[in-house]
A and B are shown apart, each in its own frame.
Chain A
Amino acid sequence: MVEEKNIFGIREFSIYYVDFTAVKNVNLDIETNKITAIIGPSGCGKTTLLRSLNRMNDLIITCRVTGQVLFRGVDIYHRDTDVIELRRRVGMVFQKPNPFPSSVYENVAYGPKIRGIKKKSELDEIVEKALIRAGLWKEVKDKLNESGLSLSGGQMQRLCIARSLAQQPEVLLFDEPTSALDPISTANIENLLQELQKTITIVIVTHNMQQAARISNYTAFMYLGELIEFGDTDTIFVNPQNKLTEEYLTGRFG
């Protein structure tokens, strides 16, 4: 199958919480197998936009959307969408590592089991592969039965990534995945993202602009719910075209 250039097409998309418009008329394409970073000040709507890409916002009862989010050309907000399947294909990793209170093995095997895979040998293989891809296998292969919560912060975050990878996602959404981690764990995660990018599309929300500069191919800058500027990360960080982007990046905002 020929890969489409853009895995997501966000079209005239707005998100409302009761009277508040969190995301205003955003148009944005997310390129397949690239890393797209979303930056902007707190409350600019970047996390809301990220969460809308696998309909995590559905869990907020007052949230309503207009416009379209096309995933491989199909609007995910169409009433026929299988949301569970959508979230398998578009996984999410959060700011705070949140392993299940179960063993390392069970954390990774949970998704495949729910999908109906029962054979032990098959599950073993999936778990091992996912942990290898998440760069965690060497560290945990002798403690697969220990609690996922006994790992270090960086390891827990990679366990959460492995848990997502076991679902064979096409896209992974990251919401500030390293803000609770030390620089070494952060570097591990960043290296991992660049490795994963070869086969998975990544969208990352980050407050750390250096991180966006280091790892992303494209950067989107949001402010007050609007997409202010989107482009090659090189261009955004060296020669942004919009004055607001310039002021934000140089710390002269407001």
Chain B
Amino acid sequence: MTAIFDEELNALKEKILKLGCMVENAIRDSVKALVERDSELSKEVIKKDHLINALDVGIDEECVRLIALRQPMARDLRFITTAMKITTDLERMGDFAVNIAERAIELNEEPQLKSFVNIPKMAEIAQSMVRDALDSFVTGCSRLPYEVIKRDDEVDDLTVRNFEELLGLMIQDPKIIPLAVKRTYIAKYLERIADHATNIAEMVIYLCKGKMIRHMELPESE
């Protein structure tokens, strides 16, 4: 049974990585569509979301099947429960990419308010968090998931800074409020994406150490 089970676990891991890749691309493309005012690219992101959803469901079904048939224990059990939670986080990130793409289409129909500064930076950090969280899931236990969790603070700070900046502009010129509000939404979506990446990193720590660290002060990594 072991050899087959190992193959199944590897196949599950690869499915998660594939989902992660699709989600990373969706985030990257949605932000690109926004910054480069490319509504066609936005539509692509929206159109492809059903593929992410289908893979998410497929992974969940596979996890339930493995629990039922293989009755995993110890690390295998933690791996499968982690996979189930990670896939949910990834799917939600995909939804936020769709939300960014939708706002991009709306904003592209209006004149450019001002160039984007904080948003591309936030997107860059959020994407690196997703990538590193998934890397740590694949490569095993390291300092990486702890780094990911720390990086979430940077995204939170940028969200606040972005809001304050836009608030200043809105006070000066209330006519821009509809556009500025959409921009604050986008920052919020990115901030939420970073939160989901943090969840993944926390689950990777659970996978490695068997300890749930959610809703706690971040322990120093060993």
Contacts and interface: CB of A to CB of B under 8 A. Distances in A.
A251 B74 contact: no
Of the listed residues B1, B71, B75, B78, the one surrounded by the most CB atoms of chain A closer than 10 A to its CB is B75
A228 interface: no
B2 A252 contact: yes
A48 B78 CA distance: 33
A62 interface: no
A238 B210 contact: yes
A125 to B, nearest CB: 43
Interface in B27-75: 71-75
Interface stretch (A24-32, A94-102, A179-187, A239-247): A239-247
A249 B77 CA distance: 10
A240 B74 contact: yes
A252 B72 CA distance: 12
Give the interface size bracket for B toward A.
Answer: 10 to 19
Nearest to A253: B2
Of the listed residues A237, A240, A251, the one surrounded by the most CB atoms of chain B closer than 10 A to its CB is A251
User: Chain A: interface secondary structure?
Assistant: helix
User: Chain B: interface secondary structure?
Assistant: helix
A250 B3 CA distance: 12
B5 interface: yes
A250 B75 contact: yes
Contacts of A238: 73-74, 77-78, 210
A238 B79 CA distance: 11
B71 A250 contact: no
A121 interface: no
A213 interface: yes
Nearest to B79: A250
Interface string B61-104: 00000000001111111100000000000000000000000000
B1 A249 contact: no
Interface string A168-203: 000000000000000000000000000000000000
Nearest to A209: B73
B74 A246 contact: yes
Given A238-B210, A239-B210, A250 B78 contact: no
A251 B5 contact: yes
Contacts of B77: 237-238
Contacts of A213: 73
A210 B73 CA distance: 9
B169 to A, nearest CB: 51
Contacts of A209: 73
19 contacts: A209-B73, A210-B71, A237-B74, A237-B77, A238-B73, A238-B74, A238-B78, A238-B210, A239-B74, A239-B211, A240-B74, A246-B74, A246-B75, A249-B73, A250-B74, A250-B75, A251-B1, A251-B5, A252-B2
Interface of A: 209-210, 213, 237-240, 245-246, 249-252
Interface of B: 1-2, 5, 71-78, 209-211
